[in-house]
Amino acid sequence: MLSTDHFPRAKKYWHMGAMRDWSDLILHPMAHALHYGTSVFEGIRAYETSRGPAIFRLEEHIDRFFISARVARMNVPYGKEEILGACQRTLRENGLEAGYLRPLLYYSYGNLGLIPKVSPVELVVGAWKWGAYMGEKAETGITVIILPWRRVHHSQVDLRAKLGGIYIQSAICGLEARARGAEEALFLNLEGRVAEGPGENIFLVRDGVLKTNDLSESILEGITRASLLEIARDLGLEAVIGPIAKDELYAADEAFFCGTAVEVTPILRVIDGSDAASNPAVHSIGPGRAGEVTIRLRQAFREVTAGRNPRFERWLTFV
């Protein structure tokens, strides 16, 4: 039996139309995706509500899943409705009131030339209970570090897609950030402006106005990001989209990361390690604690995902 210490309550996963026990191993070591990162994926959360489990923006996630597959030149073996159903079934089969869903498409066993000429595309969906990505600091706030390595640029690859191979940069820099005393990394783009975290978009708040950037700044335009922009409008908060300079980040009253995993996590300090200096400067954001706008947006987001805001119930797929 495989340990599920890091996959709480995981019992089964969906693979190519069938439910399998979590300990069933299906991947050959010569599978194409293991060697070249030829996979695409989504991260999706389901939340506990008074009406049972509800998957947050499931359709939008699966729409992006198909965009990613097109970018990766994958022929998806199932249609959209079948994948929507597979996600719901996987959540049910694991008996989860709330949890994390991971659909994954990958080039499997066939050949190991760089071009997967005869490697079929396979689909798997896993589900497990997953709490706050940043642990206790998700509430109080985190320290991030700007590393010298720049984010993959939008001129190099279609950044609308969640491509498995791209995330090796995220993994390396996330490890480096933690080794250097921060909770997370923060990337600059090739132009030297603020891009995003390894798996998170960023927002600033200055004089009560929200600001985030867009695809031209070499980011994944996240679904949580888009949701917060709409929630902000509903709350009467002003939001702008545009480039973010480092100095603008340092002068912000508030800053936070957002994403499926981190949800809404305040940023309290930024270490500027962008030039690899031995004693990098540390910048406090605002008063060095979670700001009022961040807290307000986080609470509003929680109301939406818990099914307590009827204006956004359209974003929930009840299971």
pLDDT in tens, 251-290: 999 999 999 999 999 999 999 998 866 789 999 999 999 9
Distance CA 272, CA 147 (A): 7
Is 12 labeled as catalytic in the residue annotation? Answer: no
The pLDDT, as a whole number, for residue 226 is: 98
Q: How far is CA 19 from CA 22, 53, 76, 267, in A?
A: 9, 20, 19, 40
The pLDDT, as a whole number, for residue 276 is: 67
The pLDDT, as a whole number, for residue 277 is: 66
And the tokens for 168? 């090796």
Going from the N-terminus, what domains does the chain have, and what CATH number goes with each?
Answer: 12-128 (3.30.470.10), 137-305 (3.20.10.10)
The pLDDT, as a whole number, for residue 246 is: 97
Q: Which of 12, 162, 211, 246 is catalytic?
A: 162
**What average pLDDT values come out for the chain (319 residues) when binned by 10 residues?**
94 98 96 98 98 98 98 98 98 98 98 98 97 90 97 96 97 97 97 98 98 97 98 98 98 98 98 84 94 98 98 98
Distance CA 290, CA 254 (A): 7
pLDDT tens readout for residues 72-97: 999 999 999 999 999 999 999 999 99
Distance CA 58, CA 102 (A): 11
Distance CA 46, CA 57 (A): 9
pTM value > 0.85: yes
And the tokens for 75? 């022929």
Give 53's contacts (C-beta < 8 A, 6+ positions apart).
Answer: 46, 47, 91, 96, 97, 98, 99, 318, 319
